[in-house]
Structure formats: C-alpha cells, structure tokens
C-alpha cells in the first residue's frame, strides 16, 4: 500500500503481507517528524 498526496507518493510503501480470509485489518495514517507514516494492525477485538 502506498500513500499518495497531491498525485505524489509520500513515505515508504506498507507491505501488508499475506492477508487471511475472515480476518479484519486496520491501516492507520499517523504523523511523524519525518512525514506521514502508514501502520497496519490485525484487529483482535472483532473476532
């Protein structure tokens, strides 16, 4: 996954790896000192 802002890529791409059917995932966009960052997490409370 790659963040795009004003038609330009921003930050490093996020590798989600192999996603499993039936699992739920969240992707978060957070600010940092070096620019925006993408973070991923597997939702555990939804199961």
What integer pLDDT is reported at residue 14 of this predicted model? Answer: 86
**What phi-psi label fits residue 42: left (phi over 0), alpha (psi between -120 and 50 degrees) or beta?**
beta
The alpha carbon of residue 46 and the mean position of all alpha carbons in its chain are separated, in whole angstroms, by: 18
pLDDT at 47 > cutoff 60: no
Per-residue pLDDT, 46: 57
Q: Where are the domains of the chain?
A: 3-42
pTM metric for this prediction: 0.62
Q: What is the pLDDT of residues 8-39, one digit of tens each?
A: 998 888 888 898 998 899 999 888 898 888 88
Q: What is the mean pLDDT of residues 38-46?
A: 83
């Amino acid at each position: 996954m790659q963040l795009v802002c004003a038609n330009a890529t921003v930050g490093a791409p996020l590798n989600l790896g192999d996603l499993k059917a039936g699992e739920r995932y969240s992707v978060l966009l957070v600010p940092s000192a070096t620019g925006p960052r993408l973070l991923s997490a597997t939702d555990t409370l939804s199961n």
